[in-house]
Chain A
């Protein structure tokens, strides 16, 4: 079964710190790796995504680092803010497939 393993399950970071969430996969057919952000009681929303032909993508305070050989990718949130407190999901899509496989989620709390 296709899987994406996500860690940690929960994370507490002080305001201004760096939040790091990691994901690992096994299926080498995955070709698209998005991260979704979900606030309580809401649906997830696409935050940032990367394809395996690049090792890093940055959008504002959010950066994806991608290690193709290790089959790992991670989300870094720089200068974390209380408004970043949410659940984050990594995901992956296999070439030619119309569905995503999601990680189990990381609940991030940024303390003031």
Chain B
């Protein structure tokens, strides 16, 4: 089955801890994205990567870090520097090839800071 797998689905973290959210895809898409979703604020772009070993900051990158060592994987680390990390995090991919506006999303990871 082709798709995007995000894990864990739910995650609880104590203040001051770093956590890493996993995103794996087998769609063979080059571009991958991380969005943050908060009620009433839509989807805000954290980081994106168009190719292995390269990534760019989105609109709200502060307090987050990413890596793109493999085409299939784009993990997101929420660091202790992120002031308000409780949110729903969505990973997405894009097939390119003239379909730059079409995103395929995973099912999300809900992070709660205790």
Contact = CB atoms under 8 A, between A and B. Distances in A.
B101 A44 contact: no
Interface string A25-55: 0000000101010000111111001000000
Interface residues of B, number: 26
A73 to B, nearest CB: 13
B102 interface: yes
A105 B83 CA distance: 24
Contacts, number: 57
Contacts of B48: 98-99
Interface in A47-101: 49, 89, 91, 93, 97-100
A100 B90 CA distance: 14
Interface in B1-15: 4
A7 interface: no
B107 A43 contact: yes
A104 interface: yes
A23 to B, nearest CB: 11
Interface of A: 1, 6, 9, 32, 34, 36, 41-46, 49, 89, 91, 93, 97-100, 102-105
15 contacts: A32-B101, A34-B102, A41-B107, A42-B107, A42-B108, A43-B92, A46-B103, A99-B33, A100-B101, A100-B103, A102-B35, A102-B43, A102-B44, A104-B40, A105-B42
